[in-house]
Structure 1
């Protein structure tokens, strides 16, 4: 099967990222409204909805774009030779735009202001370490899945990694620079202050770099 044309791939990548953010933010709004102040219930609902959406979106758009929906995935796959480097920049561009549009879509569905500035603080060493671990975990699961010759299991592996990350990391596992940037534009359960975005992105990049290094070590030794 030949690779889809770049235009088709970019459309799928942007649309998939937008729908992912609509699921993340929309389920967060719904969870906060229905949980009656119980943050554990709200987080569980947000995590399950996000994981379910990821399985569906990766299965739907994977054949068209690879369903990265995440700049560190595109960069990591390119760095390990699994994705054309010429496509990285346009992929990241549509991921960023799609993520922002997804947040706007979620706000529109819940009759909220379309663009907001988040006031939710997410800062500190524990949060940054969490994002590094989350980025490392996500990209490692993807790389090992691809290297292991069982890509059909990746939608479930990625979704389970993200759902688990909501709970085992202090940051609730953003693990995605496009998601991080877009969530600074929602003052809801899923938000993050704009001032906290750069540190999250750098931590995610550090985790992804560690995953790429691990991949190279494994390829040399195995």
Structure 2
């Protein structure tokens, strides 16, 4: 039996909030502990990678631990024909919960370090190079998550996804936001991990493009990937269970 919708939405809100708290908080701590920008990025990326893996383990059994609108959208799209993915009526709730959680997480991190609760970032991140980095980061993330589910290796997702995001901090020009909700949340903090509100739309458009690329590659490489979409919610459920409990 799958958890009720309100429990799944609470898990997505709390999990995304804690993820952004980890991203922003570790960025603040890094700038206070180190003067070298490379070392600061290393500290930020390692903390984020470990936190993400732990959060997936914590909230995955409840909501699937998407923490990301593009993951939820891909899960709905890929599973819509087989009835195994996130139902369309739940998709909007997931996106709202994730976005609200991301904003709350940024505020919480600021408060923990005695900074203004809301201080919009002035760190402009714009340009075709950064947008391309977001396309690559987002598409790669989706390929990893759904390939693991399709091949029956979802159990290693916490470690694999954490490792991918930690690595993508370094091999993408954008430092791998790969998440519209997290991008919005990071606009609320004028710290190391922040992004200027004016730069947010470009990142989100690039992430949606990455969603399209990732889904296209998944369908080409794993034509039956939709049958595994249910494993990215909580666990594999029979269609009758999905209808009853979603």
Q: TM-score, normalised by structure 1?
A: 0.97
Q: Matched residue of 1:220: which SS?
A: coil
Deviation at 1:84, TM superposition (A): 2.0
Residue by residue over 1:191-219, the C-alpha shift from the partner in whole angstroms, topping out at 9 and shown as x without a partner, is 11111100100101101111111111223
State the distance in 2 between where 1:221 and 1:75 align: 17
**Aligned residue number for residue 98 of structure 2:** 95
Which residues of 2 match residues 80-119 of structure 1 at below 5 A? 80-81=78-79, 82-119=85-122
Give the SS at the match of 1:113.
Answer: coil
* 1:142 alignment counterpart: 145
From 56, 59, 62, give the equivalent of 1:58: 56
Alignment partner of 1:179 is 2:182: yes
Partner of 1:130: 133
1:159-170, aligned counterparts within 5 Å? 159-170=162-173
Q: Identify unmatched segments of 5+ residues in structure 2.
A: 80-84, 226-246
Give distance in 2, aligned partners of 1:195 and 1:121.
7
For residue 159 of structure 2, what is the aligned residue in structure 1? 156
Q: Where do 4+ consecutive residues of structure 1 move more than 6 Å? A: none
Aligned length: 220
RMSD, aligned α-carbons: 1.2
TM-score computed with the length of structure 2 as normaliser: 0.87
Cα deviation digits, residues 136-193 of structure 1 (max 9, x gap):
0111100101111111111111101100110001110000000101111111000111
Measure, in 1, the Cα distance between the counterparts of 2:68 and 2:224. 28
Which of 67, 70, 74 in structure 2 is aligned with 1:69?
Answer: 67
The answer to whether 1:205 aligns with 2:204 is no
